[in-house]
Amino acid sequence: MKLKVDSTFLSSGCGVLQAFCLFTGGGVFGTIAQTDAIASSTVAHALLWISVSAWVVSMVGYLSRAFGKRFYDDHAASVFGLIFSIFYLIGTICFGVYNTWAAGAKGSQNSRSLFIFLLALLTTVGYILEAIGNFMTGVSNDKSCSKAPSPSKAENGKAEEQKKVEE
């Protein structure tokens, strides 16, 4: 089985935005996991679960699209983007209020919390832009980002020849 990379998706705005969300989301849960933020705060623990679940679902969708397949349909991708943007927004605001700018957050703990907050904020913006993009492509019927990759001309020609032979 030979896998072909869909370079048109990877270089499109949707592919770059999904990769951005994966990189920043991975930074969020990686930084939370490597610091003591998870042991000291329930909000950090919640943000960790939000980021890990969003990262896993996004990675499955991204890799399947990168190899020219579709694991989720358009409706599921739109719903996932909307849900992740809402959860990330709530988690980022709560993390900023209770960890980053809390009364007891001073010194090096504040700098780590600020870094996590900024990564979560960037990820939130990425998922919001992805949700808006999915909504706009659904409204305008422009399926440039949400359409399944079309087969190449050679594959299409083989499929047409095979149909003729079967008839």
Across the range 33-58, mean pLDDT stands at 88
Q: How many CB atoms lie within 10 A of CB 59?
A: 15
- The amino acid occupying position 26 is G
pTM for the model: 0.77
Predicted confidence (pLDDT) at residue 91 exceeds the cutoff of 90? yes
Predicted confidence (pLDDT) at residue 10 exceeds the cutoff of 50? yes
**pLDDT at res. 25:** 94
* Domains detected in the chain: 7-146 (1.20.120)
**For 113-148, how does the pLDDT look when each residue is reduced to its tens digit (9 = 90+)?**
889 999 999 999 999 998 888 888 765 555 556 555
Please give the full DSSP string across the chain, using - where no structure is assigned.
------HHHHHSHHHHHHHHHHHHHHHHHHHHHHSTHHHH-HHHHHHHHHHHHHHHHHHHHHHHHHTT--SS-HHHHHHHHHHHHHHHHHHHHHHIIIIISSTT--THHHHHHHHHHHHHHHHHHHHHHHHHHHHHHHHH---TTTSPPPPPHHHHHHHHHHHHHH-
